[in-house]
Amino acid sequence: MNILAIDASGLAASAAVLSEGVIKAEFFVCNKLTHSETLMPMVDQVIKASGLLLSDMDAIAVTEGPGSFTGLRIGSATAKGLAEAAGKKLVGIPTVDALARNLTGFEGNIVPLMDARRNETYTGIYTLSEDDSLIVLREQCAVPLSDILEDVNKRGRRTVFLGDGVKVFEEQIRHECRVSFLFSGANNRLQRASGVAVLAEQYIMEGKGVDASLHVPVYLRVSQAERERALAGNK
Amino acid sequence: MEAVRNEAVNMPDGAVILGIESSCDETAAAVVKNGREVLSNIIYSQIDTHTLYGGVVPEIASRKHIEVIVQVVRKALEEAHLNIEDIDAVAVTYGPGLVGPLLVGVSYAKAYAWGTGKPLIGVHHIEGHIAANFIENKNLEPPFMCLVVSGGHTHLVNVRDYGEYEILGRTMDDAAGEAYDKVARAIGLGYPGGPKIDKAAKTGNPEAIHFPRAHVDGEEYDFSFSGLKSSVLNYLNSCEMKGETVNTADVAASFQAAVVDVLVGNSMKAVDKFGAGKFAIAGGVASNTALREAMEKACAERGVEFFRPSPILCTDNAAMIAGAAYFEYLKGNFAGPTLNAVANLKLGDR
């Protein structure tokens, strides 16, 4: 199975090609350039470097969210355009799941933390099975950090934190986390297309690929205007 | 925008272009042959959603675009009875407009064009509006003068040649359509203001209230509508203070007369000065009946030929984008995979 995976959900943008369980090529850029400018050139390069063609892909995978609203749409629109052009299925991968998939061989809980602003984090709780597949203990959600730390403490297992939220929340974690914990290294700190591709392979086998027209980003939040309108009582 | 000159592209007599537009609150796709012949023109309007908020909410607009972009493009090809293989290039609006909505169209178009091996053309939204006149009027050729008026833009443009523009005047504050929206809200007509004021004005007296006709000092062709808007709001306030009932139709008609006077006045000043033989209007507000009539009359008095697109080509649409792209296609002005959305893109920037 061949998969082209892309991610533009956070600070970095990346693209990877996975073929028969092997990451053939991966590009990752995190240098403040806009995803709109970096993503398509990366797709072009990663396909060329993989030695495969877009038409060889069985599916296009993209982080479906949560993440930066604009970034999610750049990723989603790009994935839709590629899937439509190739006439292939599109598979959306929960961003927090993809982030957790960066880690392998860890015994304990994996807790990705994405900076969601407004004093919240996009997070979830995961662990790995004996054969190293990802098990979701708490599905991705947008909650205050103290909420997820309370859950982590209650579960009582050694925990690894990763994601761009580590930098933002480090002090509070050190203060409130009661279980033994560590932070992931720089090489697996942020979401990457290779992790997306690995999960996508599993999703495709589970029949979760969809027609390009049906894919929509998962924001986990309504827009500010909708929130304010709801507060005002739908006036 | 990175311009890529691709000499290798085979350019026969004609070209069929797929256009994509998502700069504001319409998701649109169209197929146009040779810049003039519309094979399909699909517009998915989000107006019902934004009406709830009294105007376009950028985040909501962006979310709607991503939901329907694939379906809209498919429909455009289907109605043209063509496959993507029959298309010579993919064109997309990359500015000006709301950046979130623009990015959906730009990202989709880039990926789709790259994946299908088609050349990509980045189109300026205002150039699209101007090009709507080429679709409507098969014989229209530059040079001509054009007034582009919409919810986001008010530009008086000297169209010297295909893709060659000189901006003579622009608004210093609100766009004409924006003033319509704000006044419509103030007199309780709701959103969108343009068609609602136009309708209400038909039964009102345009001379009932004298609202100011603003002229920008030292800039003969520039426009300003915020003073007019304030003047309407002041009038409404003073009526309320005095306990007088406001005649909505009269306010609508008098406000519209002031807008039309200024638009026609500046346009005709430019026509006279430059000796233009042809004059066109474009953009959403170009559907306004009072503006069309006044402009037609002013042009007729001067023996100037008057052009205007049908309402379906005045509103934001992708046929005009595919139309404008044709002239760039002929010049070999193609965009690369780094094409980005530019919210404040200036006319003539390439």
pLDDT digits (tens, 9 = 90+) for B47-96: 999 989 988 999 999 999 999 999 999 999 999 999 999 999 999 999 99
Q: Would you place residue B151 in the very low, low, confident or very high pLDDT band (cuts 50, 70, 90)?
A: confident
pLDDT of residue B54: 86
Q: Which residues, including other chains, have CB under 8 Å from residue A48's CB and lie 6 or more apart?
A: none
Q: Which residue blocks in chain B are alpha helix, DSSP H?
A: 47-51, 58-79, 99-116, 125-136, 176-186, 193-201, 226-242, 248-274, 289-302, 311-314, 319-331
Q: Would you place residue B2 in the very low, low, confident or very high pLDDT band (cuts 50, 70, 90)?
A: very low
- The CATH number of residue B270's host domain is 3.30.420.40
Cβ of A80 within 8 Å of Cβ of B84? The answer is no
Model pTM? Answer: 0.94
Shortest CA gap A44–chain B (Å): 8
Report the chain B residue with the minimal C-alpha distance to residue A225: B57
Check whether A169 has a pLDDT greater than 70: yes
Q: Which residues of B touch A82 (CB under 8 A)?
A: 111-112, 114-115
pLDDT of residue B347: 85
Instruction: Classify residue B345: in a domain, yes or no.
Output: no
Which tens digit of pLDDT belongs to each residue from B194-214? 999 999 999 999 999 999 998
Instruction: Classify residue B297: in a domain, yes or no.
Output: yes
pLDDT of residue B152: 87
Q: A213 near B74, Cβ under 8 Å?
A: yes
Q: Considering only CA atoms, which of B328, B349, B229 is closest in space to residue B9?
A: B328
CATH 3.30.420.40 fits A104-188, yes or no: yes
**Pairing state between β A89-94 and A109-115:** unpaired
Point out the least confidently predicted range of A7-11, A157-161, A207-211, B2-6.
B2-6
Q: B115 near B108, Cβ under 8 Å?
A: no
> CA-CA distance, A148 to A177, in Å (whole number)?
10
If asked whether residues B252 and B163 sit together in one domain, one would say: yes
pLDDT of residue B7: 43
> CA-CA distance, B331 to B131, in Å (whole number)?
16
If asked whether residues B175 and B124 sit together in one domain, one would say: no
Architecture of domain A2-96+191-226: 2-Layer Sandwich (3.30)
Q: What is the mean pLDDT of residues A179-186?
A: 97
pLDDT of residue B292: 96
Cβ of B74 within 8 Å of Cβ of A213? The answer is yes
Cβ of A81 within 8 Å of Cβ of B110? The answer is yes
**Residue ranges per domain, chain A?**
2-96+191-226, 104-188
Comparing A2-96+191-226 with A104-188, is the CATH topology the same? yes
Q: Which residues of A touch B73 (CB under 8 A)?
A: 84
If asked whether residues B203 and B264 sit together in one domain, one would say: yes
Instruction: Classify residue B40: in a domain, yes or no.
Output: yes
Domain enclosing residue B145, as ranges:
141-307
Whether omega for the bond prior to residue A41 falls within 30 degrees of 0, making it cis, is no
Indicate the angle between helix axes B248-274 and B193-201, nearest 10 degrees. 100
Check whether B9 has a pLDDT greater than 50: no
Instruction: Classify residue B52: in a domain, yes or no.
Output: yes
pLDDT of residue B8: 40
**How many domains does chain B divide into?**
2
Shortest CA gap B50–chain A (Å): 10
pLDDT of residue B13: 62
If asked whether residues B179 and B288 sit together in one domain, one would say: yes
If asked whether residues B222 and B100 sit together in one domain, one would say: no
pLDDT of residue B350: 57
- Tokens 């972009």 found at: B69
Instruction: Classify residue B265: in a domain, yes or no.
Output: yes
Residues of chain A that touch chain B, judged by Cβ-Cβ distance less than 8 Å? 34, 36-37, 39-41, 43-44, 54, 69-70, 73-74, 76-82, 84-86, 212-213, 216-217, 219, 223-226, 229
Q: Would you place residue A233 in the very low, low, confident or very high pLDDT band (cuts 50, 70, 90)?
A: confident
Instruction: Classify residue B340: in a domain, yes or no.
Output: no
Instruction: Classify residue B213: in a domain, yes or no.
Output: yes
If asked whether residues B152 and B276 sit together in one domain, one would say: yes
The answer to whether ipTM exceeds 0.95 is yes
Shortest CA gap A70–chain B (Å): 6
Cβ of B337 within 8 Å of Cβ of A40? The answer is yes
Point out the least confidently predicted range of A111-115, B101-105, B162-166.
B162-166
If asked whether residues B81 and B159 sit together in one domain, one would say: no
Which tens digit of pLDDT belongs to each residue from B224-283? 999 999 999 999 999 999 999 999 999 999 999 999 999 999 999 999 999 999 999 999
> CA-CA distance, A151 to A153, in Å (whole number)?
5
If asked whether residues B153 and B126 sit together in one domain, one would say: no
Q: Would you place residue A20 in the very low, low, confident or very high pLDDT band (cuts 50, 70, 90)?
A: very high
If asked whether residues B121 and B254 sit together in one domain, one would say: no
If asked whether residues B16 and B118 sit together in one domain, one would say: yes
If asked whether residues B44 and B120 sit together in one domain, one would say: yes
Cβ of A36 within 8 Å of Cβ of B337? The answer is no
Shortest CA gap A9–chain B (Å): 14
